[in-house]
Amino acid sequence: MRLLVGTQNTGKIKEYQRLLADAPVEVVGLGDIGLGSLDVEETGTTFTENAILKARAYADASGLATLADDSGLCVDALDGRPGLYSARYGGAGMKSPQQRKKLLGELQDIPDEKRGAEFVCVIAVALPDVEKTTHTREGICRGRIAQAESNGTGGFGYDPIFIPDGQAVTFADIPEDDKNRLSHRGKAAEAIIPVLKALGSSNPDM
């Protein structure tokens, strides 16, 4: 089954190719099918609403089974911010390094024991059928925000400042296989694989 990953983030597409290695799918990106310029506005009020909105829109546009997610970093000391707006934290045009710097600045005087946070990911898989079939799964990874950004080269986004529970280093310093096992996206992907297997069996022509 061809599975479109509905995101403009090439790093996320590569991550899903690894996370879904055990699923009976061929992962393709928007650019692979000529939809690289199609962007879907995230107007939902929850991670689940945004994931469904994106998966549904890309499935309708492509005619392919489509996976989309919405994820974010929720920091306890910031009342859950940046949360739903993690990708837009700091305003339009702000890049990941600037966002990490801004977040660390907001937590400058917060001690380790009060720097709790969690990554949340909701995956939605939508089918291009008349019933508008959509399935969702959620993954959560608890941890804390580091006092300073790591020099590790792995991961992307907020990974260099997030230390998952049970670890002494950030996601940027953790081997890829370990990160996939621990991460919010890895947990959500693991939960969606049985769904993909069932869909592949019941829709052999997709």
In degrees and rounded to multiples of 5, residue 143 shows phi and psi of: 180, -150
What residues are annotated to the active site? 70
Of the chain, the end-to-end C-alpha distance in Å amounts to 5
> Which uninterrupted H or E stretch holds 148?
none
- Residue whose entry in the numeric block shows the structure tokens 């061929």: 26
Tell me how far the alpha carbon of residue 75 is from its chain's centroid: 16
Cβ atoms of 199 and 124 closer than 8 Å: no
65-75/134-145 β-pairing: unpaired
Question: 141: closest CA among 126, 155, 151?
Answer: 155
Instruction: At 25, list the tokens.
Output: 């799918």
